Every structure is written in C-alpha cells, then in structure tokens.
Structure 1
Amino acid sequence: MSFKPRFDHFNPFDGNEFRTRADVDAGLKSLIDPLEVFRSPGGARVRLDSAGAHFDIAAADVEGFSRPLWGLAPAQVGGSTWIDWEPIARGLANATDPRHPEFWGFPPSDYDQRLVEMAAIGLALRLVPEKIWDPLTPAQKDNLVHYLKVAREFEHADNNWKFFRLMVDLGLKSVGAKFDAAPGLKYRDELEGFYLADGWYRDGQPRHLDHYIPFAFHFYGLLLAKLDDKTEFTERYRERARLFTKDMARWYADDGGCLAFGRSMTYRFANAGFWGALALADEEVLPWGELKGYFLRHLRWWKKQPFASRDGTMAVGYGYPNLLMSENYNSGVSPYWALKAFLPLALPESHPFWQAEEIAAPVHDKPTVQKHPGFVIANPPGDVIALSSGQQNQTMRFGAEKYAKFAYSARYAYSVESDERKFFEGVYDSSIGFSDDNKHGRTRETNEEALIADGTLYARWRPFADVLVESWTYWDGPFQVRVHRIDTPRALHSIEGGFAVARPEPFDATVEDSPTQALIETASDLSAILDLGSSVPRDGLTHKAPPNTNLIAPKTMVPQLRVELPAGQHILACAVIAQADRAFVRQALKTPPAKPDLATLEKLVRERGVQVSAMTGRADR
C-alpha cells in the first residue's frame, strides 16, 4: 500500500500536481491501491467497514467490486499499465456462479441495489472485454450473461436508474450475447420524459435538479453517444450536453471547488466525470484547454480536503469522514462512484484534451439565472454561491438542509442539523428557523409556490401549518439579500444564519456581535449577517455550531440573527456576505445594501415571475 498519511491530512492525492494524464492516472492508482487488501479471497467482494445501508450486505459488497471499474476500465483503454485484472476477472466469474460461496445472489426484487452496480460491469465489458471476458471459460461466460440478463429484467427506479439497463445492454452487445432489446428500448423512450429544456433533466420524483444531472444523465448519455450505435437518441444526448455545459461551468469556482448542493455529496468528485464525458465523446463545446481546466482544477481542489480514512480508503462524508450527512443508501464503499471522474483516462496522451494548455477559469462579473434548478449564481473569487428556491426533498435524510436552504456554496458548503430537540444550538446556516416550544426547530422544507423574476427568487412556504412565510432573495453587489414576510397566529422564536466558517484551533478569530449584526473573521475567511431594518429588532450572535454538522469543516462558527416574534405579521430582512478576501468584505460592510422595498419586489415577481422548473417538473417558457 503506497498511501502514507500526513499527521494532519488524510488524502491519497497528497503530492499530486494534477497537471497531466500521468498525474490523473497516478491519482486513480492512489485510490485503488488501498482497496485491494479488502478484496475477498474469491475476488468477488470488497468490504471496507461494518456500517449499514438500507440494502443487504451482499449488495454493498457488489458496490465495492463494481464501482472501481468506472475508473479502471477507461484507464486501461487509455494505456494505463499498472492495473491487475486477474482478481477482477476471477471475482466476476465467482460472483455470478450460484455454486460459489461469494455468489452475489440474484436481485431479490425490483429496485434492488445490484441493478445499479451492473452499469459499471456493462461499461467494462464494452471497453475491456480482453480483461474481464476473454479470460473466462465458456461456462463462466454463460453465468455472467445469465446474471446480467436476469438483472436487466427487474424494474429499475423511475429516474436516472433507467440508464443502467442501457449500460448493461451495451456490454451484452459488445460480447455478442443474445437478449431481448425491447426492455432497454422502453427505458430509452421513458428517459425522454425527464427532459425539461436547455440541457436540463429532472431526476424522477421528487423533481431533483442536482449533481445527478451532470454525473448521471449527461454522463451516461455521452457514453452511449460515443460507444453505442448512432441513433436519433444518441444525437440528442450530445446536443443536450452541449446546451448544459454553459450552466454547469458556473457551478465551479475559479479554484476548482464545485457547488455543494443536494444529496449524495459523498460521491465527491464524480461530477468531474461530466468534463471527461464531453472529452471522450469529442464534444469540444468549450476549447479543450477550458474543459481540461475545469477537470484538473477540481481534482486539485480535492487534494486539499482530508477525505480519506487513515488507511487511504475513501470514507463516507464529503470534505472529511462524516456519517451524519450520509444517505440511507450509503455503504462503506459507496463513495467510489467518485471514480467516474477518471473517465478521460480512456483518452490517450496524444488526444487534444491532454495536449491542450490548461486555460484559467473565466471571470464572471454578473450573476447568472438558472431557472430550471431555481438558482441565481454568483462566482466571487474562490467560491461559487447559488441563491436557491424551488427545490425540495422530503424523502432523503436532511432533505430540507440539502435542498431548501436559501444559498449554497462551494467554499462553505452547507450544514445539517444534529439534534432536532435543541433549537438554540442549531446551525441554520443560509436558512431561517422557527420554534414554538423553544425546543424543536422548523425550517423551509417544501414550497407552495416558487417563482423567479429576472434575478429575484420568491417562495411561499409554511414552517407550521398555521404560519405563512413569503421569502424574496436576490444579489445586491457582493451581498445576498433575504426578505421574509411572516404571518403567525402565535409567538415564535426565530434564528437566521449566514455562512458557517471553519473554527480555528487554537481559537484565533475576531467576533463582532451587536443588536443588528454578527460577524466572524478568521485568518482565512470573513462571514457576516446584517439586519436591514426588520420590523422587529434582531440581535446578532456568532454561534459555535455543533461539531460535524458542516460538510467541509468539522468545527464551525456561524453568524446569526435571533429574535422572539409576537403573534402577527412581521417583515425580516438581512444581508449576508462571506469571502476569503477579508479586506474586501470589510470594505463592502461600510456600504451595505439599502433596506429592501417590499412593494417593488412584489410587483417584480407579480409581473415577471415564472415558475421554477424544479417545482413543476416541466419547463415554463
């Protein structure tokens, strides 16, 4: 095992400059090498720990076997020479042999996790049959084909999962297996129903518009466009990816960080697979140097995060190991879906993607409106911040925190709450929370209406059935401005927060709290929230958040505004700012935004507002 952790930084990428194909190849190897000691004797299973997911342990072991193939198969095609395929081929033979102790078991029902993991095997059969197909005996080949054919007959979830059957079909075709193509063609047609417009899909129901659009819908679509038979569908996949690229580029900061938003953040750099898929499909929608820049900067950003365990394996979490933020479908090996990022290794060193000179990220002076996900995105130095409204998710753990905050960031990510019974200890970063018993907190979970008018977002929502909140959010220079009109029949406590920033150890920070402002300044960040003339005066408090609530920093502080609201109608308004350039923020605080004009905001939304596509599941033109 080559991984040698620093005392203070557990990251297999340490020392990797991520400038060349060789660097990226070495990055993949640094993630794969620690896994091999956890492979079962028969090669069919990889298990890292005893933590559970909602599916059975055998399915989790299939994840451990299959997910590394997202990186290994492309790397082999592109000329990587370090991969040992013998245990993988042997494991695949044993995994699909019902008589072998390491048999995976046939999927027991529709929507089984095994169906997900067959996609990588389909891709590997298509890309490297000489490594995982040719070494098998005729009987082993029959077992493998039979297993895949059984799996593809089960119903897949009504979302991006439908691509998995198409990926299996791709592999079966490549080895000359006979199968009924009709189920795959049916899913191909049904996937069209998820398309909105402008390159955007929705991922099933609820109507997620998150990282699954680049690293699932477009990733698989571009793979099929490159590797499958050319059809009207594969040409659509190409065109939609081209349309999507401009919006996706704004999700990236100039330092390579990507917007933290939504579920499955433990897949970390999987979203970089979008840039690799464009390159593999020879879609030079941006100059090769720009595509290469987005890709490599993102990997360099991740080399700064201590995301690994002490043995070099990837842990569940985001910036650091953290089970609190995980999904119920995250097993110990789930994070290896991140290896989708290594798709461009399929390209040889001579390809223009690798030969091009890396181009720096463009400077964006103005926010961009993305009406389909409900974002207004700004790209300050070292960050990307999306004002957000219109997405919601009540099926995922911490769905409110992952989808319904008012802002999301690459640099500051977002936080989840750790104890629903301790309202006054809550983080409430980029959100507003209410409590009617001084114990339980409620934030925005769903929207009754979500509109976007030019660069202003509007939402009507209820933290309690009898409490109505209307919220407006917009950019004013470097500040995000929020306005809330609250109608409550009873007294409520309220906490509204800005961005949470890392709490230094030993503590060396400036904290400034007043009746109208809360601010924390560390050696690397300044985060502040200012009241803008609310109808009820609010007190500023820089709050020490509970540990392990933020996705990037395990210990944080968050500036908050707190107030007790009597029964009646209230207008609360604030401005939020956070950046690494502390001098810039100090200067900006000298001229904060003006008090919002609610009548003007209401008129703007009434006259120019259109529905956020994520709310309706269709594009409102």
Structure 2
Amino acid sequence: MHLPPPDPALSPVTGCTRAHWEAAADTLLAAVEPYASDDHALYHLPGDRESWSGRLSDGLEGYARTLLLAAFRRDETALERYADGLAAGVSWVWPRIEDRSQPLVEAASIALALRLTRPLLWDRLDDAVRQRAAAWLGDALTAEPWPCNWELFPVTVGGFLESVGHEPEASRKAAERGLERIEQWYVGDGWYTDGEGRAFDYYNGWAMHLYPVLHAWLAGDQDLLARYGGRLKAHLADYARLFGGDGAPMHQGRSLTYRFATTAPLWLGALTGHTPLPAGETRRLASGALKYFLDRGAVDDRGLLTLGWHGPDPAVLQGYSGPASPYWASKGFLGLLLPPDHEVWTAVEQPGPAERADTVTPLAAPNWLLQSTRSDGLVRLHNHGSEDVRYDPYYTRLAYSTATTPSPSYDNSVILGGDPSRTGIEPLGTGDGWAASRHTAGGGARVTSVVLAHGATEVRAHLVSGAQPGTPVRVTGWAARDGARAELAPVLGLDGTLSGTTGQGTTLFVALARLTAEPEPVPLEDTVSVRMAGADAIHVRWNAGPEDRVELDGDTVRVTRLPAEADG
C-alpha cells in the first residue's frame, strides 16, 4: 500500500498522520471496486471461502462493510456508486432481513452509513428508492437478534429510520428494546459481556460501546450520551493497555480478522468527548495498530484485506467469516469523522501505556491481569475470568499476549490426565499484582489457579482437587513468536518436563513463567524466589520488589502483601 512519507515531527512514534489514514481508506475503497456486481448491489470479493450464510449474503456483506468505509471517508464519488447499489439492492437483489440472519448485521452498517452521510446519499435518492430502502431496513425492527451484540443492530437501524421519519414509533421502540436488553450484560467499570456468560473481548469496543454511543451522539440525546459515553470513558482507561509497544492489539477473542477495527473505540472517545486519553495518545495507539497490520501483510498485492491476522490465517476465522468479513475493519476509520483541525490530528503523538512504564494492572470486571514491560513493549493478558459459551482457545487459555497466538498444542494450560480443557471458569478475584480463578478439568476435577506478576516474570500456582491419586498433570507456558522468548521453570510439584502427579486430597503445582523480547534478560530464577509457607500456601519474594503470601483452597485464593522485612 502506497502511503505518504512519515511525519516524524507530528508523529514521532508511528510517522502516521491523517493523510496516511485517508490514503489507506482510498486504497482499500479502490481495490474493492472491481469486484462489485454490475448494479453495484453486491461485492463478491475473491477467495475460495464462503461463510455459512452463503454467497448472496456474503456479497451483501461486501457492499455494507465497504459502504461504511466510504461513509467515514466522505468519498462522494464512491457514495454515488453505493447509491446505485442501494437502489438495486432494495429493489430485487438483497435477501430479506429475517430472525438471526446475517443481513441483520449488514443492515446496521448500511443504516449507520446512511445516517452519517444523509446529505450526500440518502437525501439525493429518488423518493421511491428511499421508500423501498426504508421498507427493507424496516424488517430489522422486528427481526429477532442472537442474544449478544446483535441486539444493537436493530438499535442502529431504528435510530436511522426514526431520524428520517419512517415508522417513528416502531423505530424508537426497537432502539429502546435493544438498549434495554444489553443492560443485563453490563458488569461495571466500562465492561460488557457479549451475551450470557463471561465472553470478554474486542466486541466491547467495536460493538457494545460503538453502537449505543453513536446512537446517542447522532440523536443528540444528552442523557443517553452521558450514560453510554461515561461507560466508554471508563472502558478506554483499561482498553488503552491492550496495545503493545509495536502497535499490536491483544491476540484474544473472536473475529480477530477485523484487525484495526480495534481502534474504533479510541476514535469514538475523541469524537464524542468521552475519553480519558490525551489526543496524542489516542492517535498514537490507533495509528500504531493500523501500521502494525499494514506492515505485516494484512493487505495483499491487490489491495484487499485478507482473511487472517497478519496475512491469511484460517486459525482466526469463524464459520460466519466470509470473503468480505475483514472489512468490518472499516470501523477503524471512524476517526476520519473528526475534522482535520481537531486536536486528535494536530497534537504531537504521545506514547501509550506499554511504552511508558512496567505495569501490572488488575481489571476487576473481566477478572484479568494485564502485565506490560516497557523494555520490549510486550503486553500479556492473564485470563482468570473470560470464557466463551463453547470451548474456544481464544477465550479459555490462561494467558494471551500482543506477540503470541494460541497454539494447537495447548499453550498456557493445565493438562490433567491428558485433558487440556478448561471449562466452567469462575473468577476468584484480582488484586495488586495477581488474579485468580478456578475451573473444571480432567473429567470433573477442579483446578484453582493464581498468577502473580512482577516485571516480565510470572508465578503460576495451580491447586488440583477431586482427581484420582496418581493422575498425571502437566503445565504449559507461552508459545514464543515474533522474536519473543518463552520460558517455563518448575518450582513445586513438577519435574524438569513440567509434569507431576496428584496425591491424596489436594496437590499444589507451581511454576515460573516469562515471555520477553529482551535480548539478554536476567536469568529467570534470579528474578523471584518461591517456597512453601504451609499447607497449600506459598511465599513469593520478588527480586528488588514486594513479598507476598498466597493461600489457595478449593473456593478462595488469598494474597497478602507482606512487610519488606517479613520472612513469611
């Protein structure tokens, strides 16, 4: 992708300015144009993969998601083509919006784009086309969504239809209904679960916050904006910590092929004035993520976004991923709604959290522990509270990072009796430098786990109960990638192969772990010492750091910070 020269004065970290974002948007829009149908109603992007919704729905997805990009770019020439496609699509091409159908998702992108560009697109359509478009979108008002972020698609459609006077009462009620339903999933501190259970991931930013905040902002509803904007602001205080020093977003959760859609909530906070982040930090984090992917092959030699993470990668795809799915990355261009003279574009870049200091930050709502190191810019997420409704390696591993991907050989796991599963995750709390949980494994045994972190080092303790005596146990650590080195060393209950066996009652297994990109790190065993401190308890003494006493049982984990002179 051809971009302008870097601007080291305005953007000393990434070199990227608004001109780079505009050029990226223009390149992506130009690249998809040859794949439009003759009537411009469908965009059939190349590839041998088809989503489970079928080719027609995939073509609609191509239209809707690239229209969203054209709307953020305010590209009037492109919008003329999409106006032609809209007229054809609502007349005879597009599938109807039905209960839990993919067109409901795409209707939200179309409605949002139409609302954002009303003078440029909607108001220039023939009245008959507007009526047919409103009727097609209107099915979204009564279509039943999947009980997750899909509840927000009728909200977005309803907000647009009410704004243009189409069935205003039904439109308003559809929006209110969707907003009411997501309340059950708000757990506080700016965090939502994506439906029932504890599925915490990027859907918080590119769906659960994006749609309600934009709905309130576009409607000028200050009460709604105060509620949802306040939640967004709280979320961004945590969210900014999920980006590595190289711009990489955290490699966790589903739909990772949307890539720099991860930047949408950053821009949204600046757009609506609900952000704790300085303008220069907002742009640095967002531009860092864009540059991270563009530099690593996210766009192929045709200028198309591929199905994957860096380049093509089927491991990050779901059944609903079709050729045009990556173009939800269009949400990352939300910042182009901000005028060129806005401070988010004119401020000098400021470093993000991972570049400023070594930090270990507990996040109580998802029950995560974020560990970042300034020397290598790596961020690690210790997961003691997130789990999808089905087993998914992108939710259920003990840890994730900005430099690794979950491995097929079960990295960051406790393998009990040959069974690596981790189900029924129950959060047991977070605190200063630690997070804990318990889960079911090995056909019904329970594993109570706690991680303590300081610098780049981790102490991982696992108390196994309910297993037959003599059951083999193996613990695994990080799968190294992108120049990062992984280390795992046994401390208690484990041999040199990180394996052990259960005894009568409960058995404690402890290991040291580290993921680092430092060229010559201090030997792992010199960073911390761990010893038994009673039944199912350990004493942790960090080199030049705090001391902790950790007590585990089947139901609770207690971590006590000790005075510096204490010996346990």
TM-score by length of 1: 0.79
Residue in structure 2 matched with residue 6 of structure 1 by the alignment: none
CA spacing shift, 1:13–1:314, aligned 2, 3 Å: farther
Residue in structure 2 matched with residue 547 of structure 1 by the alignment: none
CA deviation vs aligned residue, 1:387-434 (integer Å, no higher than 9, x gap): 111221243xxx34111211110122x2242xxxxxxxx2x2222224
Aligned ranges 1:43-122 → 2 under 5 Å:
43-48=40-45, 49-76=47-74, 83-98=77-92, 103-107=93-97, 109-122=98-111
In 1, are the aligned partners of 2:198 and 2:366 still within 8 Å (CA)?
no
Residue in structure 2 matched with residue 556 of structure 1 by the alignment: none
The 1-side partners of 2:459 and 2:68 are apart by 42
Larger RCO of the pair (alpha carbons < 8 Å, separation 6+): 1
CA spacing shift, 1:592–1:233, aligned 2, 3 Å: same
Distance apart, 1:349 and its partner CA: 0.9
Structure 2 residue 435 is matched with structure 1 residue 442: no
The 2-side partners of 1:361 and 1:564 are apart by 41
State, as a whole percentage, how many aligned pairs show the same letter. 26
Residue in structure 2 matched with residue 147 of structure 1 by the alignment: 136
Helix, strand or coil for the counterpart of 2:362? strand
Match of 1:88, as an amino acid? Y
CA spacing shift, 1:493–1:606, aligned 2, 3 Å: closer
In 1, are the aligned partners of 2:250 and 2:401 still within 8 Å (CA)?
yes
1:574 aligned to 492, 506, 511, which one? 511
The 2-side partners of 1:138 and 1:475 are apart by 62
CA spacing shift, 1:467–1:287, aligned 2, 3 Å: closer
In 1, are the aligned partners of 2:257 and 2:309 still within 8 Å (CA)?
yes
In 2, are the aligned partners of 1:308 and 1:321 still within 8 Å (CA)?
no
Aligned ranges 1:353-368 → 2 under 5 Å:
353-362=344-353, 363-368=356-361
1:500 aligned to 479, 482, 485, which one? 479
Helix, strand or coil for the counterpart of 2:91? coil
CA spacing shift, 1:278–1:72, aligned 2, 3 Å: same
Structure 2 residue 172 is matched with structure 1 residue 172: no
Match of 1:459, as an amino acid? S
The 2-side partners of 1:485 and 1:36 are apart by 57
1:266 aligned to 257, 260, 274, which one? 257
Residue in structure 2 matched with residue 325 of structure 1 by the alignment: 316
Residue in structure 2 matched with residue 40 of structure 1 by the alignment: 37
Residue in structure 2 matched with residue 489 of structure 1 by the alignment: 468
Residue in structure 2 matched with residue 408 of structure 1 by the alignment: 400
CA spacing shift, 1:410–1:469, aligned 2, 3 Å: same
Helix, strand or coil for the counterpart of 1:192? helix
Residue in structure 2 matched with residue 27 of structure 1 by the alignment: 24
The 2-side partners of 1:26 and 1:445 are apart by 45
Aligned ranges 1:370-389 → 2 under 5 Å:
370-381=363-374, 382-389=377-384
Distance apart, 1:146 and its partner CA: 0.6
2:495 aligned to 537, 550, 555, which one? 537
CA deviation vs aligned residue, 1:44-82 (integer Å, no higher than 9, x gap): 111223413222322221111101233221211xxx57x
Distance apart, 1:592 and its partner CA: 4.2
In 1, are the aligned partners of 2:456 and 2:514 still within 8 Å (CA)?
yes
In 2, are the aligned partners of 1:454 and 1:608 still within 8 Å (CA)?
no
In 1, are the aligned partners of 2:39 and 2:84 still within 8 Å (CA)?
yes
CA spacing shift, 1:531–1:47, aligned 2, 3 Å: same
CA deviation vs aligned residue, 1:71-97 (integer Å, no higher than 9, x gap): 221211xxx57x422321111111111
The 2-side partners of 1:149 and 1:531 are apart by 60
Query: Which runs of 5 or more residues in structure 1 are unaligned?
Result: 4-11, 418-425, 504-523, 540-560, 610-621
Match of 1:411, as an amino acid? A
The 1-side partners of 2:359 and 2:304 are apart by 40
CA spacing shift, 1:448–1:212, aligned 2, 3 Å: closer
The 2-side partners of 1:385 and 1:341 are apart by 23
In 2, are the aligned partners of 1:106 and 1:151 still within 8 Å (CA)?
no
The 1-side partners of 2:300 and 2:417 are apart by 38
Match of 1:325, as an amino acid? V
Structure 2 residue 204 is matched with structure 1 residue 216: no
Match of 1:498, as an amino acid? G
CA deviation vs aligned residue, 1:471-506 (integer Å, no higher than 9, x gap): 221114421111122343165444432222238xxx
The 1-side partners of 2:111 and 2:475 are apart by 48
Residue in structure 1 matched with residue 305 of structure 2 by the alignment: 314
Helix, strand or coil for the counterpart of 1:411? coil
The 1-side partners of 2:28 and 2:100 are apart by 29
TM-score by length of 2: 0.86
CA deviation vs aligned residue, 1:335-357 (integer Å, no higher than 9, x gap): 11111010010112111211111
In 2, are the aligned partners of 1:453 and 1:608 still within 8 Å (CA)?
no
Structure 2 residue 225 is matched with structure 1 residue 245: no
Residue in structure 2 matched with residue 420 of structure 1 by the alignment: none
In 1, are the aligned partners of 2:237 and 2:276 still within 8 Å (CA)?
no
CA deviation vs aligned residue, 1:330-385 (integer Å, no higher than 9, x gap): 11111111110100101121112111111122423331110111111111131111
Number of matched residues? 529
Query: Which runs of 5 or more residues in structure 2 are unaligned?
Result: 7-13, 538-548, 560-568
In 2, are the aligned partners of 1:53 and 1:328 still within 8 Å (CA)?
yes
Residue in structure 2 matched with residue 542 of structure 1 by the alignment: none
The 1-side partners of 2:95 and 2:473 are apart by 51
